[in-house]
Structure 1
Amino acid sequence: MKHKHSQTNEEAAVVSSSIRAEINQQLRQIEQEEQIRILYACESGSRAWGFPSQDSDYDVRFLYIRPEDWYLSIFEKRDVIERPISSQLDISGWDLKKALYLFHKSNPPLMEWLMSPICYIETTSAAERIRELSPFTFSPKACLYHYLNMAKGNFRTYLQGEQVKIKKYFYVLRPMLACAWIQRYDTMPPMAFRTLVDTLVPADSALYEAIQALLGRKMAGEELDLEPRIEPIHQYLTQAFETIQQEAANIRTSEGASREELDDLFRAMVSEGWSTG
């Protein structure tokens, strides 16, 4: 049985058929080399968020299982596979056991992978069953602090001074808008950057105009490097850091799915994964 993730034409067009074929070939090669079964693979990063430039990398992320005997060991083993295939193609994955452990802690990167609009492999029910548990595991406080710390780090590294790396605005804006979404809606933020902007930023504001202009330049392939900082965006970020930090302590947390539930899911997926052709 094959489970397919739906895509719009715009989303599917982000990855050409030739690149998609190369990615799937690389994933199958990893399966053979590592003796694993890939349950789910998707695009992450700027292509999944909806603001790729013409030379953006392909950041492929996957979940996998190993044979049952691999897990029956008294020794800790590496639970991550990383393959920097080329300058344009980066592939890495997590063992399902690691993924479910982090899922119990409401891990935002994993949740984003499962929401990705660009899916390469989904051959078992694993991803869908994890998605079904997501509303019960989602912890607004944990996710908000994840995005807040991401935004702070990028802001501090790339956006200080009068001349800044303006393409890095996206990597601060998206996590900051994700924080605002969590505060307003108490749910996991959508993947699409445009959805965040259109929902949270007034269309008649200088901030909206500045974001749209910068987004248009990035997607048109313009070289976005050091330029004078963009004041409407800079002012919004400076104010948002202060506001979100003050309100973060009042955001609710969540205990997540039970350990027994996740253990049962893990065992079922190891069995299903190896029985699926």
Structure 2
Amino acid sequence: MRETIVAALKKVEEDYDVKVLYACESGSRAWDFPSKDSDYDVRFIYIHKRNKYLSIDPMGVGKKRDVIELPINGLLDVSGWDLTKTLKLFRKSNPPLLEWMQSNIVYYKAYSTFDKMKELHSNIFTPTSCIYHYLNMARNNFREYLQGDEVKIKKYFYVLRPVLAAKWIEQYNEFPPLEFSILLEKLLPEGELKEEVSKLLKRKISGDELDLEPCINVINEFLNLEIDRLDKYVRTLSVELDDPTYELDQLFRDTLDEVWN
């Protein structure tokens, strides 16, 4: 599959006259709990030639899209962001982008842009925006999928993971690892809760259907309490960072020079 993915990225470069800077896996495979039939969710960052940016309409306005999305083909879902969009989201500590940067499944990396972004990350990371993102995800999924006597059991992971990610930020003041197994091992103490979550994880990875089943009370109670507690915690945070726009502008210009000169 890796060869197929790299070939798709090369075709993107040819069809759109861009250069791909970085490509990785996101979603359940990167989170370390794929099902047997999980898609390959490939996400990439790219840059156009200089003249594409030197115009009166900025990238992302009108017909100048700052996203490339390929038609989903079987198990392959490929999409990417222009570097200007990427850096604007990076400035906001956008969690999906930060997850791309944390992915342990990297399909392609060229030039120095990604490494420079990693160097800037600790000075740009905003814990409040990331915790709010994960809390909203957890709260919405919990409300939609995990209420009642019977629940869609696989949806536990789509509430547990963001809750544990927010909990990691609270505890370590850094962006969390993607792998669910690491969050589980580091953040949950030994006991009934951890045992129940571990059982679910083994079932999901082994390919169990994990459809409607009786709710797991110990997990529901934990999620209820943690979502409420983290919501109160994040409201107490006040983090001020220097504006990184100058550094990000320079990174963009440096990338143009490096790639196209």
TM-score class, shorter-chain normalisation, is over 0.9
Match of 1:98 in 2: 85
Indicate how the Cα distance of structure 1 residues 257 and 273 shifts in structure 2: closer, same or farther if over 3 A, else same: farther
Check 1:212–1:256 CA distance in 2 against 1; reply closer, same or farther (3 A cut): farther
CA offsets 1:222-256 (integer angstroms, 9 cap, x no match): 11111111111111101111111111111232435
Match of 2:206 in 1: 220
| Alpha-carbon contact 2:124-2:244 (below 8 Å) kept | no
The 5-angstrom pairing of residues 157-172 of structure 1 reads: 157-172=144-159
Per-residue deviation at 1:174?
0.6
- Find out whether 1:63 has 2:45 as its counterpart: yes
The residue number in structure 2 matching 1:229 is 215
Q: Which amino acid aligns with 1:28?
A: K
Q: Report the Cα distance in structure 1 between the residues aligned to 2:133 and 2:95, rounded to whole angstroms.
A: 7
Q: C-alpha separation between the residues in 2 aligned to 1:162 and 1:274?
A: 59
Q: How much is the aligned-residue C-alpha RMSD, in angstroms?
A: 1.1
AA matched with 1:216: K
| 1:30 aligns to 2:17 (yes or no) | no
- Return the alpha-carbon distance in structure 1 between the equivalents of residues 156 and 88 of structure 2: 32
Q: Percent identity?
A: 50
Separation in structure 2 between the aligned mates of residue 158 and residue 86 of structure 1, nearest angstrom: 28
Name the residue aligned to 2:116. Answer: 129
Offset from partner CA, 1:18-40 (integer Å, 9 cap, x none): x1111111111111111110000
Offset at residue 157 of structure 1 (A): 1.9
Distance across 2 between alignment mates of 1:171 and 1:24 = 29
Aligned residue-pair number? 256
Q: Any idea what the Cα deviations from partners look like across 1:172-218, whole Å, max 9, x if unmatched?
A: 10100011111111111111111111111002x11100110000000
* Matching of residues 240-259 of structure 1 within 5 Å: 240-255=226-241, 257-259=243-245
State the match for 1:110 in structure 2: 97
Question: Which amino acid is 1:49 matched to?
Answer: W
Partner-residue secondary structure (3-state), 1:218: helix
Asked if the contact 1:141/1:248 (under 8 Å) is kept, the reply is yes
Question: Which residue number in structure 2 is paired with residue 72 of structure 1?
Answer: 54
Aligned residue in 1 for 2:23: 41
Pair 1:270-2:252 in alignment: no
Q: Report runs of 4+ in structure 1 exceeding 4 Å deviation.
A: none
Code of the aligned partner of 1:25: A
Tell me which residue corresponds to 1:7: none
Aligned equivalents of 1:256, 1:176: Cα separation in 2: 28
Query: Whole-Å Cα distance in 2 between the matches of residues 167 and 187 of structure 1?
Result: 27
For the 8 Å contact 2:161–2:180, the answer to whether it is kept is: yes
- Cα distance change on mapping 1:257 and 1:129 into 2, 3 Å: farther
Unmatched runs of 5 consecutive residues or more in structure 1: 1-18
Please say if 1:202 is aligned against 2:189: yes
In the alignment, the residues of structure 2 paired with residue 84 and residue 175 of structure 1 have an alpha-carbon distance, to the nearest angstrom, of 28
What is the aligned partner in structure 2 of residue 11 from structure 1? none
Worse-matched range after superposition: 145-154 or 255-264 = 255-264
Amino acid at match of 1:55: D
Given that 1:39 and 1:273 are in contact with CA atoms closer than 8 Å, whether structure 2 keeps it comes out as: no
Whole-Å Cα distance in 1 between the matches of residues 12 and 72 of structure 2? Answer: 11
Give the corresponding residue for 2:197: 211
Matched residue of 1:84: which SS?
Answer: coil
For 2:243 and 2:98, the matched residues in 1 are separated by: 14
The amino acid of 2:188's aligned partner reads: V
Instruction: Quote the residue 1:21 is aligned against.
Output: 3
